[in-house]
Amino acid sequence: MSGAALLPKGASYASVTAAVSDPLLEQRAGRGWWIAFAIGCAGTLLMGGSIFWLLFRGIGIFGNNSTVVWGFPIANYVWWIGIGNAGTLISCMLLLTRQHWRSSINRFAEAMTLIAASIAGLFPILHLGRPIYFYWVAPYPNTMGAWPQWKSPLVWDFFAILSYLVFSLLFWFVGALPDFATLRDRARTRRAQVFYGVLALGWRGSARHWARYESFYRIMAALGVPLVVSVHSVVGMDFAASTMPGWAESIFPPYFVVGAMFSGFAMVLVLAAAVRSFLRVEGLVTLDHFDAMAKILLAGSIVMGLSYATESFQALVAGSETDRTLVAFEFTGAYAWLYWTQLLCNVALPQLLWFPAMRRSIPALIAIGLLVNVGMYLERILLIINTLSRPPVSSTWQIYAPTLWDGLLLAGSIGFFVFLFCLFLRLMPAVSMHEVRQLVPEGER
Amino acid sequence: MSAPRLLGEFDGPRQLLHAARLTRQTSPHRVTDAYSPLPVEGLLAEIEDIRPSRLPLALLFGGLGGAALGVALQWVSATQILPVLAGGRPFASWPDFGFAIFELAILGAAVSGFVALLVGCGLPRLHHPLFGVPDFTRATQDRFFLEIEPADEAEGRAHLGALGAIAVHEVPPV
């Protein structure tokens, strides 16, 4: 796609700037935003209440039992960090491969990453029996003489999430610096001038600034890709470093990374539709963008299908008796209907995207995006409960069922995401203005 | 005392680059900086006294420092301070150490690169005399400014005007 094709006819520097900044500076929020914000506030309260109850009563409020020791909290963690991985991955990979259409979507995809990764980081902590001691995974000299066990994937997770959060924040913030300066210079109220002025740190767009900016941003993008791959690989290791059937699989790290990209792209599709309606311009996030994202989603779905098939095939052909028991349980056991739903959402439904009409229909894409995220949630929870319900010793077999609090905490975390994303839309430039300006054709200012 | 610096205001990146190039090649005036709402390719070569940025080095050394910290932290804690025998594995178990080393390397590179970016750009600096120039708010929106140190003020103004500047401003003293 050429750059000019991604912009409305007659786009100029001024029109691009106005399209992104006016909704923040000049216009009141629309009804859609207020409805989403109200839902987000309610969800945030729900999450706060659930966390309070959890801390008050302990992890007995969850559905976990003595056999299925992991349940919703770990599935929530993997699901959110998966969504959180996609933003930076999308943004870095598309920058390195010079996909110009990235300019319109990278900013909110990165914001999605930051929000989702922060929420994800909460769940392993909440899942601890004594969450106040979570800082024991950090290495620091202490009177107990205790140090982290470096052979534990949980410690790897701590480093991976910490690095990833700091990295994503810096990448996002530096990318937004020139846009904060634009907002500072366009703001008419004192409050907005001070707010964006402080965020812009005094950016002037000097040639010296741009040279350093570009050098920093490109190297960060190159570092971002292996970082993201490592983060979700480590999440895969949380499972693969064990000896449980269905977990101890060498395919896990890449399979987890693709899953993260897949669910993240599905989420970006949904958010792109939200941003497009919030900014009230069809010009910056076009149907061509949706078409390109849908193609990547389709590719992801094919790789996911291949991964599922490989998993089962390998267990049947090369696995032990416990592996075969597990595969039979997946397809015919207590949770089989969920497994079939997962395959439907993640593998079958996205095949509709072979049709160009589906790739250019926003309602269809929103539906597919949401269903893929449902499917990916099922994948994560089934990954946990299938294996744990069928451990090698059959006398310990147990079935898992989530409780009301499991559901409320998950729903609350989704509400909290909506709340933070609404704030982002209202306060931050949702599209990278300085990058879209580079797409404006020379003759048409 | 030399003449005050002048800012020529242009309406496109091509005009800005053209003006910078002509000023450097054919006039006695010095191009000291340029301000634009988007990066302009090739502009850097036209500005005097600009060194290639050493920012990549900051990222490199930050990354190496982070990795070294990861090696030292794990080796010291796992073999010297608190050796725990786990399944007969060696205390210094390099394959397991790899993850934290890699994450700390990237973290070190990102943080030191960010600090180097701020230091190199002279940020944060919330106020700057340039912000007093009328129209300079458009440098982050849709106008392109060329900053020159003219040999003579009147000549500099005439020169910028001849290059097609929409307006010429004086840069307030620091």
Q: A207, B40 in Cβ contact below 8 A?
A: yes
Test B99 with A167 for CB contact under 8 angstroms.
Answer: no
Cα(A334)–Cα(A347) distance, rounded to whole angstroms?
21
CB within 8 Å: A206 and B121:
yes
Name the minimum distance, in Å, from the CA of B124 to any CA of chain A.
4
pLDDT at residue number A302: 93
Q: What are phi and psi of A209, to 5 degrees?
A: -60, -50
Contacts of A226 in chain B (CB under 8 A): 102, 106
So what's the pLDDT on residue A442?
65
pLDDT of amino acid B1: 44
> From CA A217, how far away is CA A371, in angstroms rounded?
34
| CB neighbours of residue A289 within 10 Å | 21
**Does the beta-carbon distance from B103 to A163 stay under 8 Å?**
yes
Confidence of residue A20 (pLDDT cuts 50, 70, 90): confident
| Residue A305 pLDDT | 92
Dist CA A29 CA B139 (whole Å): 28
| Neighbouring residues of A258: CB distance < 8 A, sequence distance ≥ 6 | A300, A303, A304, A307
Instruction: Name the phi and psi angles at A256, rounded to 5.
Output: -70, -40
Tell me what percent of the residues of chain A surpass a pLDDT of 70.
Answer: 96
Instruction: Please name the member of A166, A202, A213 whose beta carbon is closest to the beta carbon of B110.
Output: A166
Name the stretches of chain B with pLDDT < 50. Answer: 1
Question: What span, in angstroms and rounded, lies between the C-alpha atoms of A72 and B167?
Answer: 63
For chain A, say whether B86 makes contact (Cβ under 8 Å): yes
Cα B162 from Cα B27, distance rounded (Å): 12
Token code pair at residue A166 = 């700091």
Q: What is the dihedral of CA B86, B88, B91, B93, to 10 degrees?
A: -90
Mean pLDDT of A211-220: 89
CB A154 within 8 A of CB A137: yes
Radius of gyration of chain B (CA): 25
Rounded Cα–Cα distance for residues B15 and B146 (Å) = 10
Which has the minimum average pLDDT: A16-30, A163-177, A193-207, A344-358? A16-30
Residues A165-185: what's their mean pLDDT?
90
Looking from the CA of A191 toward its CB, the CA atoms found within 13 Å total 3
Query: In 3D, which of A164, A152, A191, A168 has the Cα closest to residue A24?
Result: A191
**A223 vs B86, B109, B125: nearest CB:** B109
Q: What is the mean pLDDT of residues A420-442?
A: 84
Inspect the interface and report whether the beta carbons of B99 and A202 lie closer than 8 Å. Answer: no
A387-399 pLDDT tens trace: 888 888 888 888 8
Cβ distance of B141 and A174 shorter than 8 Å: no
How does the average pLDDT of chain A come out, rounded? Answer: 86
Cβ contact, residue pair B117, A204, below 8 Å: no
Contact A160 B89 (CB under 8 A): no
**A37-55 pLDDT per residue, tens:** 999 999 999 999 999 999 9
Residues in chain B: 174
pLDDT band at A247 (very low <50, low <70, confident <90, very high): confident
In chain B, which residues have their Cβ closer than 8 Å to the Cβ of A149? 84, 86
Nearest to A437 among B37, B56, B128 (CB): B37
B126/A198 CB distance under 8 A: yes
Taking CB atoms and an 8 Å limit, are A203 and B47 in contact across chains? no
Q: What angle do CA A111, A205, A434 make, to 5 degrees?
A: 40
pLDDT computed for residue B104 by the predictor: 93
CB contact under 8 A, B35 and A206: yes
Cα-based torsion angle of the residue sequence A232, A237, A240, A244 in order, rounded to the nearest 10 degrees? -110
Select from A184, A182, A73 the least CA-distant residue to A124: A73
- Name which of A439, A444, A309, A443 is nearest A4 in CA terms: A439
Instruction: Find the radius of gyration of the CA atoms of chain A.
Output: 23
Alpha-carbon distance A237 to nearest alpha carbon in chain B (angstroms): 11
Could you read off the pLDDT of A349-386 as tens digits, one per residue?
Answer: 999 999 998 888 889 999 999 999 999 999 999 888 88
Cβ pair B39:A227 closer than 8 A: no
Q: In 3D, which of A137, A146, A201, A253 has the Cα closest to residue B125?
A: A201
Q: Which residue of B has its CA nearest to A207?
A: B34
Q: Which residue of A has its CA nearest to B87?
A: A151
Of A138, A144, A137, which is closest to residue B82 (Cα–Cα)? A144
pLDDT tier for residue A205 given thresholds of 50, 70 and 90: confident
pLDDT for position A445: 45
Tokens of A411: 């729903």
Predicted local confidence at residue B2, as pLDDT: 61
Q: Does B2 reach chain A within 8 Å, measured CB to CB?
A: no
* Interchain pair B36, A205: CB under 8 A: yes
Chain B residues touching A172 at Cβ < 8 A: none
| Residues of chain B neighbouring A212 (CB-CB closer than 8 A) | 53, 55, 116-117, 120-121
- List CB contacts (< 8 A) between B34 and chain A: 206-207
C-alpha A162/C-alpha A185 separation (Å) is 34
Q: Is the pLDDT score of A280 beyond 80?
A: no
Residue of A159, A162, A174 lying closest to B114 (CB–CB): A174
Residues contacting residue A227 through CB under 8 Å, at least 6 positions apart: A88, A163, A164, A167, B103, B106
On whether the CB atoms of residues B146 and B23 are closer than 8 A, the answer is yes
CB contact under 8 A, A226 and B106: yes
Which of B:9-48 have CB within 8 Å of A? 11-14, 33-40, 43-44, 47
Considering only alpha carbons, which residue of chain A is nearest residue B80?
Answer: A147
User: Residue B13 in contact with residue B38, Cβ under 8 Å?
Assistant: yes
Q: Which of A276, A300, A279 is nearest to A287 (CA)?
A: A276
Burial class, A409, CB count within 10 angstroms (exposed 0-12 / middle 13-18 / buried 19+): buried
Any idea which of A48-57, A81-90, A164-173, A334-343 has the lowest mean pLDDT? A81-90
